[in-house]
């Protein structure tokens, strides 16, 4: 496209965005469970059995103490990065710390050495001892809720996680495909990091909630489900409940039928308690599944039922996500093909008109040729006069866009967060905070709706302008559908609900702590800023695409005038110039037709390649 002057700035930006989306699109699966439910063992069984041993710490007394993300970034060497827990005492949100790599402790990983890999990853289970006051400031001690506090040791010290967050970059085949695993710690640690429940878990494409098959749904399990995972907008396919450790029910004194009946009872009871369809409740043994894979025991693997979970993850949740990505890619490529095709058609039409003009000059005298030049110059002058009208439309367009940028800009959002922070920052019990919080989200949604109205106004204006230009100048401008901002309203609703859990009576004493309130506002601010920036990016790209289409066709028309006048001048100056120019145009027509075929061929190749995203995913590596 660049070689043939078909790649303007807006088209290039859209192509780059499509490429970035393919390269960076992540499918996050969050594994959520209370302590000792076998969550790390399940991750080992599904993702790391190929190493022939446990990789994530899963033995007694060794478990994930901090939220851990496993993914793959080709620009970063295999490593474990750890953010010290003390960063909770500073004002930056977790997402901001991601932008400061030098503040993380980095440990390089040897992916070909299972022993080194496992030893390094054991660091996510590290803890440290702090005083009660420090534990309170870090969010792990609440005097008003003693039942949730960790135990004191003989010296009156509290054991807390050593790390706030861990990032594992590893070139595992599944992670290279864009899968990200979010391994979360138990209830106490989840509640202490609002950004987990406000941002990371709600944005995960899939959540695997793990319970013990022997215990069923405990009080703490139910608290995690209700407070952090249950939401009105959760898609039925995005939540899986897994009853782990079914091997504890393999009683030698019971028949296989009795064991199966017991498992089915647990599944039914779990589904009823959590309000989940029983088809989304799976029963597995992660330990036996890992053992079966390591020992290559197909009979034990079948008995562990791990394959059912792998099927649900791979060809249910993750497959659906990739299908959506493939559809988005095909849609974007088709739009670009159509836009570029319209420019090519204009070139073909202009060449045809030139051919007709020049063929009509055969056998005509110089006065006729001179008259034709005069007529082309007049057409060009009239076309240039129409530019004032286009300039006026652009002025209105830019004015409306400036208003959009103002509404979704950082200044407005910062003012909203400052106001909410002041309400949460009041001393003592904050009984009116729920109202202030609700009013904040009403204003945030109103801002998004106002942007919807403005983009609607821009769309209407551009539609009328394009229709008029198509009629007056024979353009083929086609208005692009305005960006769908409803998805961002839904995101705001999700953010509000995921945050609302912290404002209930149960958390009234937590809210009284200034440190916790500040973390809450920072987490919310980061999430909402991300939503606003995404919406703004969509509006900006849509606007550029519409303007670029107009620019491309204006540019083609002006070039056509120049080429026509140049052709007439050459004919006037040289004998035989007419036949020579007709031959040139014929060659140009052939070149444009070849260009059109190449465009169709390459875009068809890209769209066919997307079909590869629809093939089943093999989780057994």
Q: What is the pLDDT of residue 62?
A: 54
Task: Report helix, strand or coil for 407.
Answer: helix
What's the mean pLDDT in 206-222? 87
Tens digit of each residue's pLDDT (9 = 90 or more) over 23-59: 767 788 888 888 778 888 898 998 889 889 888 887 6
* Residues 136, 611: Cα–Cα separation, whole Å: 52
Say which residue the tokens 């008109």 belong to. Answer: 353
**Residue 427 neighbours by CB distance under 10 Å:** 7
Tokens of 324: 């959506």
Residues whose CB is less than 8 angstroms from the CB of residue 176 and which lie 6 or more positions away in sequence, other chains included: 72
* In the chain, ranges of CATH 3.40.50.300 domains: 13-126+162-323
Confidence of residue 576 (pLDDT cuts 50, 70, 90): low
Of 92 and 318, the one with more pLDDT: 92
Both ends of the chain: CA-CA distance in Å?
Answer: 40
CA distances from 534 to 74, 128, 408, 433, 454 (A): 24, 39, 10, 28, 17
**Residue 136 neighbours by CB distance under 10 Å:** 18
- CA 82, 88, 89, 93 torsion: positive or negative? positive
- Mean pLDDT (the chain) is 82
- Which listed CATH number (3.40.50.1820, 3.40.1190.20, 3.40.50.300, 3.20.20.70) goes with 13-126+162-323? 3.40.50.300
User: Are 42 and 290 spatial neighbours (Cβ–Cβ below 8 Å)?
Assistant: no
CB contact burial 78-107 (16+ within 10 A = b; e otherwise) = bbbbbbbbebbeeeebbbebbeeeeebeeb
User: Are 280 and 264 spatial neighbours (Cβ–Cβ below 8 Å)?
Assistant: no
Q: What's the order of all strands across the beta sheet hosting 179-183?
A: 105-108, 79-84, 163-169, 68-71, 179-183, 27-33, 206-212, 239-244, 281-283
DSSP per position, 245-267: -GGGG--TTS-HHHHHHHHHHHH
* Residues 245, 213: Cα–Cα separation, whole Å: 6
Above 60 in pLDDT, residue 476? yes
Tens digit of each residue's pLDDT (9 = 90 or more) over 276-319: 889 889 999 999 999 999 999 999 999 999 999 888 877 766 67
Tokens of 596: 């059109």
Least confident piece of the model among 102-106, 336-340, 474-478, 495-499: 495-499
Q: What is the pLDDT of residue 199?
A: 64
| Strands 239-244 and 281-283, sheet pairing | parallel
Tens digit of each residue's pLDDT (9 = 90 or more) over 2-25: 888 887 776 777 788 778 777 767
Phi, psi of 405, deg, nearest 5: -60, -35
The strand pairing partners of 181, in sequence order, are 29, 70
Tokens of 486: 């409803």
Confidence of residue 620 (pLDDT cuts 50, 70, 90): very low
């Amino acid at each position: 496209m660049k070689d043939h002057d078909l790649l303007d700035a807006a088209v290039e930006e859209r192509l780059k965005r499509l490429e970035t989306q393919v390269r960076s699109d992540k499918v996050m699966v969050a594994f959520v469970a209370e302590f000792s439910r076998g969550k790390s063992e399940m991750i080992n069984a599904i993702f790391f059995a190929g190493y022939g041993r446990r990789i994530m710490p899963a033995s007694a007394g060794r478990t994930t103490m901090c939220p851990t993300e496993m993914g793959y970034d080709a620009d970063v060497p295999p490593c474990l990065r750890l953010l010290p827990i003390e960063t909770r005492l500073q004002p930056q949100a977790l997402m901001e710390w991601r932008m400061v790599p030098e503040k993380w402790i980095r440990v390089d990983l040897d992916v070909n050495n299972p022993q080194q890999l496992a030893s390094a990853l054991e660091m996510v289970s590290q803890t440290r001892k702090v005083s009660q006051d420090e534990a309170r400031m870090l969010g792990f001690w609440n005097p008003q809720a003693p039942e949730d506090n960790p135990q004191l040791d003989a010296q009156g010290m509290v054991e807390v996680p050593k790390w706030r967050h861990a990032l594992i970059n590893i070139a595992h085949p599944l992670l290279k495909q864009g899968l990200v695993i979010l391994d979360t710690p138990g209830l106490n640690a989840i509640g202490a990091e609002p950004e987990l429940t406000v941002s990371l878990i709600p944005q995960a494409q899939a959540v695997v909630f793990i319970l013990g098959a022997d215990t069923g749904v405990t009080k703490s399990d139910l608290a995690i489900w209700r407070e952090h995972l249950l939401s009105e907008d959760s898609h039925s396919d995005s939540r899986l409940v897994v009853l782990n450790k079914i091997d504890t029910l393999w009683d030698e004194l019971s028949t296989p039928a009795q064991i199966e009946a017991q498992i089915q009872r647990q599944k039914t009871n779990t589904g009823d308690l959590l309000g989940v369809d029983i088809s989304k409740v799976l029963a597995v043994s992660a330990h036996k599944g890992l053992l079966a894979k390591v020992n290559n025991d197909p009979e034990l693997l079948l008995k562990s039922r791990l394959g059912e979970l792998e099927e649900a993850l791979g060809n249910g949740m993750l497959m659906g996500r990739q299908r959506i990505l493939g559809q988005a890619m095909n849609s974007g490529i088709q739009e670009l093909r159509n836009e570029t095709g319209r420019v090519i058609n204009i070139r073909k039409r202009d060449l045809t008109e030139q051919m007709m003009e020049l063929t009509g000059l055969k056998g005509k005298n110089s006065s006729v040729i001179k008259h034709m030049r005069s007529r082309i110059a007049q057409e060009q002058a009239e076309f240039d006069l129409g530019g004032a009208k286009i300039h006026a439309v652009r002025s209105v367009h830019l004015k409306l866009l400036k208003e959009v940028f103002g509404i979704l800009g950082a200044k407005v959002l910062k003012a909203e967060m400052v106001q909410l922070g002041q309400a949460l920052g009041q001393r003592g019990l904050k009984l009116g905070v729920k109202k202030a919080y609700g009013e904040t989200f009403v204003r945030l949604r109103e801002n998004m709706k106002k942007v919807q109205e403005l983009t609607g106004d821009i769309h209407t204006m551009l539609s009328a302008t394009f229709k008029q230009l198509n009629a007056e100048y024979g353009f083929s401008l086609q208005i692009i559908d305005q960006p769908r901002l409803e998805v961002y309203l839904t995101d705001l609703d999700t953010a509000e609900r995921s945050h609302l859990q912290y404002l209930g009576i149960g958390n009234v004493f937590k809210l009284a702590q200034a440190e916790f309130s500040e973390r809450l506002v920072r987490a919310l601010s980061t999430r909402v800023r991300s939503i606003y920036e995404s919406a703004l990016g969509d509006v900006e790209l849509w606007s550029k695409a519409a303007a670029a289409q107009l620019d491309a066709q204006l540019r083609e028309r002006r070039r056509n005038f120049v080429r026509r006048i140049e052709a007439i001048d050459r004919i006037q100056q040289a004998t035989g110039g007419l036949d020579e120019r007709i031959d040139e145009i014929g060659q140009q027509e052939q070149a444009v037709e070849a260009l059109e075929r190449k465009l169709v061929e390459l875009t068809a190749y890209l769209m066919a390649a997307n079909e590869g995203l629809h093939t089943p995913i093999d989780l057994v590596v």
